[in-house]
A and B are shown apart, each in its own frame.
Chain A
Amino acid sequence: MNIEKAILAVITTDKAKIDGGAPIFLCDDLEEMQVVAANLEAIMDGIAHALSENLYIIVKH
């Protein structure tokens, strides 16, 4: 089986909301989230998608 899309990282300020597989990056505020997500996006060649205001995922397409 070929997995075409994968969540490479999760970025959030709310630890209570997440658990499990992908690497999780905890941030103090929304501004830090933007910076971390932008960096990860560039590093991983993925896209930062916003699931809610304080929960971003980096997805490889």
Chain B
Amino acid sequence: MNEYIYAIVFGILIGVVARIIMLRTDYRQYPTNLHGKIIHLSLGFIAASLGAMAVPALMEQEYTAITFLTLAASQFREVRNMERQTLTEIDELELVSRGKTYIEGIAISFEGRNYLVILTSLVGTLVYILFNVYVALITGLICLIIAKSLMSGSTLKDIVAIDHHPLHFKDAGLYIDNIYIMNIGLKARQEEILKYGMGFILTPKNMNVITTIANLGQRQAILHDVSISLGVFRDSGTPALTPLIKRDLDDGRIGVFILPQVREVEKAAEIIGAVPVLENAIRMPSQSRTHNKNEEADL
């Protein structure tokens, strides 16, 4: 046993704890219970070991040892590929698909979490060696809190106002408020849709949001999350019963047409509000310098 063994064990432990905290299986049922979780915990353990080992290696002036961190990077990029592949395969067989943007978002966050684990272990081990176990414990706690806050993004209710609007037909056209959704020819289908469907209008709170919610991936994510949480009134071979989101080109509002199995307006609005804003859908035109320059010139 060498002098670093406790520090390394401590670093690994704190890293694994960080991974456990960041590993949630929620309504999305992802990662899948048990096996999916074991995969991610094992990878988290590897990440934690790499992070913990880096500091003693540096202290022993084994500078080349630091190169294995690059190995870690490529390893975890592989994690991202793995997640992407699995989810894409599964997506084809979903009644309401997740969409590529959502999948990419999940894959990115799985990779990112592993780096957070490395960082937590690294800092934990470093502080343990430099000071003592108590300081290391406090630092570890701070790291966990930071990791937790880095992990959670904003949700739709932060960026849009959600209002329920009844569906109506104008001839064969299905509308929510003034937003055209689709053409349904059969009378029987129309009645079904009026009975089981539900309409919501999401009004963007500012200009950046207009582009974000217009993103097709973000829209698909809303439909997917709602159908996961409330069920969906459709089957394969009934393309007329497809939840859809269309956009009002005038002002950027979007009309969300859903077919939930559980028809509770309050609950549906709450679930739409809890849909994560996908990082790949976020656009910030207001941060563009050229744009702002023009705006100033206009004033």
Interface residues of A (CB under 8 A from B): 34, 37-38, 41-42, 45-50, 56-57, 61
Contact = CB atoms under 8 A, between A and B. Distances in A.
Contact of A34 (B183, B184, B187): B187
25 contacts: A34-B186, A34-B187, A37-B185, A38-B188, A41-B186, A41-B189, A41-B240, A45-B237, A45-B239, A47-B183, A47-B184, A47-B185, A47-B239, A47-B240, A48-B186, A48-B189, A48-B240, A49-B172, A49-B184, A49-B185, A50-B183, A50-B185, A56-B185, A57-B185, A61-B239
Nearest to A42: B237
A22 to B, nearest CB: 15
Contacts of A42: 237
Interface of B: 171-172, 182-189, 236-237, 239-240
Nearest to B172: A50
A49 B189 CA distance: 11
B239 A50 contact: no
A47 B183 CA distance: 9
A26 B237 CA distance: 24
Interface of B is mostly: loop
Contacts of A45: 236-237, 239
Contacts of A37: 185-186
A29 to B, nearest CB: 14
A40 to B, nearest CB: 10
A46 B186 contact: no
Nearest to A53: B171
Contacts of A48: 184-186, 189, 240
Nearest to A43: B237
B255 to A, nearest CB: 18
B216 to A, nearest CB: 15
B188 A50 contact: no
Contacts of B237: 42, 45
Q: Which among A45, A47, A56 has the greatest number of chain B C-beta atoms within 10 A?
A: A47
Contacts of A50: 171-172, 183-185
Nearest to B183: A49
B186 to A, nearest CB: 5
Nearest to A57: B185
B186 A38 contact: yes
B278 to A, nearest CB: 24
Contacts of B172: 49-50
B191 to A, nearest CB: 12
Contacts of A47: 182-185, 239-240
**Interface pairs A-B: 7 shortest CB-CB:** A50-B172, A50-B185, A48-B185, A49-B183, A47-B240, A45-B237, A56-B185
Contacts of A49: 172, 183-185
B175 to A, nearest CB: 15
Given A50-B171, A50-B172, A34 B240 contact: no
Contacts of B186: 34, 37-38, 41, 48
